[in-house]
Structure 1
Amino acid sequence: MNAPGTGAAEAVVTGLGVVAPNGIGAKAFWDAALEGRSGIDVIKRFDASSYPARIGGEVLDFAPDGLLPKRLLPQTDRMTQYALVATDWALADAGVDPAALAEYDAGVITASGSGGFEFGQRELEKLWGDGPERVSAYQSFAWFYAVNTGQISIRNGLRGHSSVVVSEQAGGLDAAAHAARLLRTGTITLAVTGGFEASICPWGLVAQLPSGLLTDAPDPQRAYLPFDATATGWVPGEGGAILIVERADAARARGVGQVYGRLAGHAATFDPRPGSGAPPALEQAVRLALERAQVNPEDIDVVFADGAGVPQLDRAEATALASVFGPAAVPVTVPKSMTGRLYAGGAPLDLACAFLAMRDSVVPPTIGTRDVPADLGLDLVLEQPRELPVRNALVVARGSGGFNAATVVRRHP
């Protein structure tokens, strides 16, 4: 995504919708983030006491009844229900009536990592327990990576270019960048973008354990500790965010009431194969994103870091940031320390955080982390939010398997 400057085709964000473990709705989530209120706890949706990892960031208070038509509930996994409701909220926040849009002017580009795991688990239980005749016909798509894109498109009549990006936690940044490219080329004038996950269920947890990257810490307050010397892995989470991204001229033409900011520059890279001896490619992604946004390292006011909570991954990220910005030269924060890692939902939620930080001139803290090794060279925002003007922010995301992505977002004039 090359920098669109201040021209009509620049991609601006006009609406946000959030469903997260520590807040349902953008306001509730942002209030919790600034208060340092975590949604991480012992897993409650099922008995995880026999699992090596027993801590998660669950969305427990979401009630789709009354928010979605009843006919949709048996058709959809929880993550799709989150996505549909968050899209409703984001469109309302942007003041967009989908019915008033031209037929092919709006599209949907979402990120996905696991699809509808819980729906799939439930139908497999029916298959082996009750027989194939009991399996829902909706299993044919409710588990699928592209289902959120499809359901959002159908529900809102958005018939422009639509697609899904699968690059694990980096996918949310990649999806937003693809949306911005489509806007810039005139393919569409409005995009619904973001990502959601809801894979905290027995099958979903078992699928995540073989990575060896989940923490087995029993204390929710000390389980997920990005950049901490005692970190032992990450906590899985669920939820995510939806952003409404528009061409600036189209937003002005419809009399938009607010603009959170601009998607100014993006880059994606892929790490070399393990054992090759080649360096990780995260630093290259950061440098390219800055270049494409036409900003210098000293112009960045805050970094929303990936913050894996895995010592070797955190050190690699800290090394990349120190190389680009200098040691402790820019504030760094990891708000997902309050939600767990949301996989495809994590980067969209960080983008929402970055835009809210711009609006309110305040950076949410990283919680839990206490002992940051001095040689990491990080100015990590800890315990309390930090008030500072945010004109330019960098969001970093990495996906398991070698995916790297970085996006620069800028305050809109």
Structure 2
Amino acid sequence: MTAPTPTAPATAGPDATGPDATGRGTGPGAVRSGQAVVTGIGVAAPNGLGTAAWWDATLHGRGGIGPVTRFDATGYPVRLAGEVPGFVDEEHVPDRLLPQTDRVTRLALAAAAEALDDAGLDIAACPPYGVGVSTANAAGGFEFGQHELQQLWSKGSRHVSAYQSFAWFYAANSGQISLRHGLRGPSGVVVSEQAGGLDAVAQARRRLRHGVRALVTGGLDATVCPWGWTAHLAGGGLSTATDPEHAYLPFAERAAGHVVGEGGALLVLEDAAAAHARGAVPYAVVAGCAATFDPAPGTGDPRLRTAAGLALDDAGITPDDVDVVFADAAGEREADRAEAHALAGLFGPYGVPVTAPKTMTGRLGSGGSALDLAAAVLTLRDQLVPPTTGTDRPADDCPVDLVTGAPRPAGAAPLRHALVLARGRGGFNAAAVVRATG
């Protein structure tokens, strides 16, 4: 399958107007003061390290799910995962940081460096406390923690690294990114599993409204290790299929669980006026965000549709304005039906194109929704909706217009608004609306 290769981002001065060839808005008519705009993207995903490689693979339907290689999984009932390819730690992390960081933090440092470079943001030229970090992480440094526990059990406490005191922590990514780049503004971490990537972006957006100039935001997780596998198996919902192409089939009649992946995305979210003043060319506007929490099982209905409606309200649009939905896509029959019915209730049956490119990566914890948000941004830029792989057609009880097989180009009208949905274990729901700038 083939698709047009996205064009490289162009640049424009502060007086330029209208959209450029990439779909980024370029002038005062594209964004308004007070808006949160995406000016940089960094990606570490199972089907591509770096934004360009990942997006090209995503548009062409090339997946990154395969047999686990990071440990011997032959004795486990689940032996497939999405692993970030070609990541050499020493190429992305200084030697001095290697002993004190988990794999997820190393991936986060690489994604943050790419996002900041893409944004062209000169930290030294910003106010001293004007740039911060808000990331999401659902598991912490699992692999680091496993190693240190093995040291404790096999050799004793004197052999446990002092870095264990923070390398395992959910906020390690935010802290290390802040230190690495001298980001002295507000810093934080959100822990809400798959919903976390969107929740972190919502937190960053609120920070911008309080005067912060820019934040690095999004999420990553990396739990492809025996300790992580034990947690995933205990949590349930995993596919035991051995065929990477058909292991994770959201909305399909044969859906039987998801595949775990590692990685995610980080974005530079910037105040529109500040971005315009420095001549930056935004990708898109984060126009609306919302979150809800499901009631206890058996006591009420899921609230994903409520989160979606609140995000649309926050963006000042109606369901008729939404051009594409990036679904949570659990890959479990009951959860898929619930999401499909929520979408049908909001847009009507088959009322809006729906896609789930995470079928190419697996579910990435906090990184999943952040990567979907990056995909939504680039969808608006390139006017192409990436496909859902694996699933040929949705089940009859999932009335969604699922984009499959190949990218779907914009129709008679351009793609202007994308809705991104995410659900986290324990009842978390999150939604975000991205708007084109042109």
For 2:404 and 2:190, how far apart are their aligned partners in 1?
Answer: 32
| Residue 300 (structure 2) pairs with residue 269 (structure 1) | no
For 1:52 and 1:390, how far apart are their aligned partners in 2?
Answer: 42
Q: 1:265 to 1:271 in 2, by over 3 A?
A: same
What letter is aligned with 2:394? V
Deviations 1:365-411 (A, max 9, x none): 00001241133211000011111132100000000010001111100
Task: Indicate conservation of the 8 Å contact 2:224/2:262, yes or no.
Answer: yes
What letter is aligned with 1:83? A
For 1:61 and 1:127, how far apart are their aligned partners in 2?
Answer: 31
Deviations 1:189-217 (A, max 9, x none): 10100111110100001011112211111
Deviations 1:124-153 (A, max 9, x none): 111111221111111111100010010011
Q: Report the alpha carbon displacement of residue 6 of structure 1 after superposing the two structures with TM.
A: 5.1
Deviations 1:303-354 (A, max 9, x none): 0000000110000000000000011011000010000000100111001000
Tell me which of 249, 252, 262 is aligned to 1:238: 262
Tell me which of 219, 234, 246 is aligned to 1:222: 246
1:297 aligns to what? 319
Tell me which of 75, 97, 102 is aligned to 1:77: 102
What letter is aligned with 2:284? G
| Residue 82 (structure 2) pairs with residue 57 (structure 1) | yes
Tell me which of 151, 155, 160 is aligned to 2:180: 155
Tell me which of 375, 380, 387 is aligned to 1:358: 380
For 1:317 and 1:62, how far apart are their aligned partners in 2?
Answer: 34
Task: Indicate conservation of the 8 Å contact 2:92/2:106, yes or no.
Answer: no
**2:302 aligned counterpart, secondary structure:** coil
Q: Report the alpha carbon displacement of residue 247 of structure 1 after superposing the two structures with TM.
A: 0.4
Q: Report the alpha carbon displacement of residue 7 of structure 1 after superposing the two structures with TM.
A: 3.4
Deviations 1:77-101 (A, max 9, x none): 1110011111111011000122222
Number of equivalent positions = 406
For 2:89 and 2:377, how far apart are their aligned partners in 1?
Answer: 27
For 1:373 and 1:336, how far apart are their aligned partners in 2?
Answer: 18
Deviations 1:97-127 (A, max 9, x none): 2222221001100001000000100111111
Greater displacement, 235-244 / 211-220: 211-220
For 2:91 and 2:315, how far apart are their aligned partners in 1?
Answer: 42
Task: Indicate conservation of the 8 Å contact 2:255/2:333, yes or no.
Answer: yes
Task: Indicate conservation of the 8 Å contact 1:271/1:281, yes or no.
Answer: yes
The residue correspondences of 1:34-183 to structure 2 (distance < 5 A) are: 34-183=59-208
Deviations 1:158-213 (A, max 9, x none): 11111101111101111101111110121x11010011111010000101111221
What letter is aligned with 2:291? A
Q: Which runs of 5+ in 2 are unaligned?
A: 1-29
1:368 aligns to what? 390
What letter is aligned with 2:275? A
**2:112 aligned counterpart, secondary structure:** helix
Deviations 1:213-242 (A, max 9, x none): 111112111111111110110100000001
For 1:319 and 1:110, how far apart are their aligned partners in 2?
Answer: 31
Task: Indicate conservation of the 8 Å contact 1:230/1:371, yes or no.
Answer: no
For 2:65 and 2:91, how far apart are their aligned partners in 1?
Answer: 26
| Residue 281 (structure 2) pairs with residue 254 (structure 1) | no
| Residue 379 (structure 2) pairs with residue 379 (structure 1) | no
For 1:348 and 1:378, how far apart are their aligned partners in 2?
Answer: 22
**1:374 aligned counterpart, secondary structure:** coil
Q: RMSD in angstroms over aligned alpha carbons?
A: 1.1
**2:286 aligned counterpart, secondary structure:** strand
For 1:30 and 1:310, how far apart are their aligned partners in 2?
Answer: 26
TM-score normalized by structure 2?
A: 0.91
Q: Report the alpha carbon displacement of residue 44 of structure 1 after superposing the two structures with TM.
A: 1.2
**1:52 aligned counterpart, secondary structure:** coil
Identity of aligned residues (%): 58
Tell me which of 422, 426, 433 is aligned to 1:401: 426
1:309 aligns to what? 331
What letter is aligned with 2:240? D
Task: Indicate conservation of the 8 Å contact 2:337/2:397, yes or no.
Answer: no
